[in-house]
Amino acid sequence: MKRALALLLLLGLALAQAPAYPENTLGVGYAPDKGAYLQGSLLLPISPLGIDTGLDAEVLLAQNPEFHALLKANLFPGLVLADFYTSVGLGLDLRYPFGVHVGPVASLELPGGALSGTLGLGYQAGSGLHLAWGLGLRLYLEPIALEAATSDRFPFRLSLLYLF
């Protein structure tokens, strides 16, 4: 029982600012306090029980590199909230320096974009249990997307993504 509780606390609850639904993207981002990021996401061919799955990844290009990967499953893709499509899923967040989180991922699709909000409790090396949060807005200008995001990892990041 103690091991199960420790594992639950280790995994914690967390969210991500990327949309809950998987996409194929490749791009760059810039956070004024951190520097340049390489970003990408991929729709995974693994679809247990017909659930869309995806991987979002980003790498900070700096002297002290950081890596973030989010494996996600879009569990409820067809919800409607005030005439807007809403997606709710589950994500496994892996970070370097070491961090691990698991929790829901949610998005609200707006005309020409998507708003994704986050809040949760997670584990990060050096900090222990901490509050993980994020908020992101993507504007789609096919085949590109502009993204503005904030999270517990950076105060502000602006990104340009290519959709394929």
* pLDDT tens by residue, 108-157: 999 999 999 777 678 999 989 987 788 899 999 999 999 999 998 899 99
Structural domain count of the chain: 1
Residue 97: inside a domain, yes or no? Answer: yes
Residue 8: inside a domain, yes or no? Answer: no
Closest CA to 122 of 150, 149, 151, 148: 151
Tens digit of each residue's pLDDT (9 = 90 or more) over 19-62? 878 899 999 999 999 999 999 999 998 776 788 999 999 999 99
Tell me what the mean pLDDT of segment 91-95 comes to: 87
**Owning domain of residue 75:** 19-150
For residue 3, pLDDT over 50 is answered with: no
Cα torsion through 92, 59, 156, 129, rounded to 10: 40
Residue 7: inside a domain, yes or no? Answer: no
Residue 102: inside a domain, yes or no? Answer: yes
Residue 13: inside a domain, yes or no? Answer: no
Cα torsion through 98, 117, 37, 126, rounded to 10: -20
Q: What pTM was estimated for this model as a whole? A: 0.83
